[in-house]
Structure 1
Amino acid sequence: MTGTFTRGLLAGAAGTTALNAASWLDMAVRGRSASDLPARTTDALADAAGWSIPGRGSERESRRTALGALTGIANGLALGVVSSAVRSAGVRLSFPVGTVVKGAASSAATNLPVAALGVSDPRSWSRQDWLSDALPHLAYGATVQAVVSGLPTPRERALPRQKARAGLVGRSLLLGVAAGGRSSLGVAGPTLTAQDTGVVKKLASLAAVAGEVYGDKQPGVPARTSPQVLPGRLVSGAGGGALLARRAGANAALPSTAGALGALAGSYGGLAWRRWAGSFMPDWQAAVVEDAAAVLLSLTACLPGRRRSTRVTRVYHPPRA
């Protein structure tokens, strides 16, 4: 049996091999040349870091090619470990869905830096360019999905997951909305309301919530829907849904998805509230109202009503004379 980290490395290595094989097969069939995007991305990263690749002529070109390939391998291994950790957290995806999700994550890990660094604009790519990019990444996703689902860890064997109920998905959505308002609540809500959580974790969660409540009212805070802030809120919402699912012993695929969607709605909804309320009350008052609403939503999601006891009470009847 393998652990989460080892399984992730195996999945990442197998997925990277499949991606490279698909790319080389495409080159062999169509006779196209190798892409120079990895090398150009390496140049851009070196420039951003203020570092120049040593050497001249063919020597420097060899280093550019090698560094680009090593960066790709590092991405593949890292995503494999992340995929394994997500499954260990309780997210069980079907093979088709897992293939698409992991393939899209692999493509994003490659193409987002390319776009951010100005190396290339994916919006200008042709249909053939997109196919050449998508098929190898789908091969990566299929391989990683097969490995992580085919090598369960000892904990996964001991604790099989049941299907998530509608109530759990709904509570995950509410928790996601709360995380859209105050991102720390996505993880802090389940942590603070869990009976088996240690004091240190609860104090850390309280400190995170208190720090965000204070920082939210300071000037110069980036907008919650900005590219540098929104992803963290989505991750928090998804993580909160996964924690609720883990508590219920359920598959976290739907709860984590609901949490991320709730965080998206809560982020834009909270921003709309602050802009609308700012026309007739000070911003700090609108922020306090949002604080209360986010905490209330988090408590509603994490403290569901107790089920009525179904235990039958036996009544003692004395024997007849």
Structure 2
Amino acid sequence: MNIDMIRAAQKRLNGHARRTPMLTSPFLDEIAGRRVLVKPECLQHTGSFKFRGGWSAVSALDEATRKRGIIAYSSGNHAQGVAMAAAAHDAPAVIVMPKDAPQLKIDNTRALGAEVVLYDRAGGENREEVGGTIAQERGLTLIRPYDEPQVIAGQGTTGLEIAEQAAELGVTSGDVLVCCGGGGLSSGIALALEAEAPKMRVRTAEPEEFDDVARSLASGDIESNTRLSGSLCDAIITPSPGEITFPIMSRLCGPGLVVTEDDALHAMAIAFKRLKIIVEPGGAVALAAALFHGDQIEGDAVVAICTGGNVDADVFADALAKYA
């Protein structure tokens, strides 16, 4: 992985991905006790940053490989990003999804033209094994959700935008908080900022009990979660950091941040009320860290990425009922 791959991905994404804005609100600044810049990737195609990585990976394949078909595994956001990119390139797509994923994400993935294969995550089925078997049987190309160079390159384009947009707002240093699962977005942004805004530092954000990245960064070794399901923050629940992503995060990221599910729900309600955006729980943990864990953040300004907005209506209603 290197900055040249990210810049090349940016060229392939030009005219296809949305350049999401940088949002501010004095109400958020007051809560956080510092200036808060919010990058709403929930406004990206398919409702999350994952479209960037999906398009980057699919567009990097040669035509013959695409025509044979693509397979991916995901709880929903990577699924939709790959499905949309595959459809645009006229490539068949199979997506392996946990059967306990939010129904909205399953429905959207099917609506984008992909074949969805459900597996029992809670019962211990392994998505890598399920996906690997199907890929071998059908001759499909696997696009992993985070430990995939071209996926990381696509996610890293978010960092190129952050560097430019933050500078336009007079912010050239400080922590950049990233909702983190396997580390594709965090590592891609970290590489982009290293090149374009070296005084800005990525900090990963995760929910309690699924903080494998924070623990891995603290220990220096890849740590695993004891559970693989059971969190509202399903979008960023992964077994452990990636083999490709962890060395990048270990070199470039600061200590990981950990928030509660209630913090995430509270941040969702504030984002809706003050920024007029809809964020899912897993996509709100970075904003939650910025708003409620300021004692662990450095600098007069902080950037928080709202990574996704694909939330079931009942979960969103619960957040608003509790905190709006």
Shorter-chain TM range is under 0.3
In terms of fraction of residues, the more helix-rich structure is 1
Structure with greater Cα Rg: 1
Q: TM-score scaled by structure 2?
A: 0.28
Q: Which has the higher strand share?
A: 2
TM-score w.r.t. the length of structure 1 is 0.28
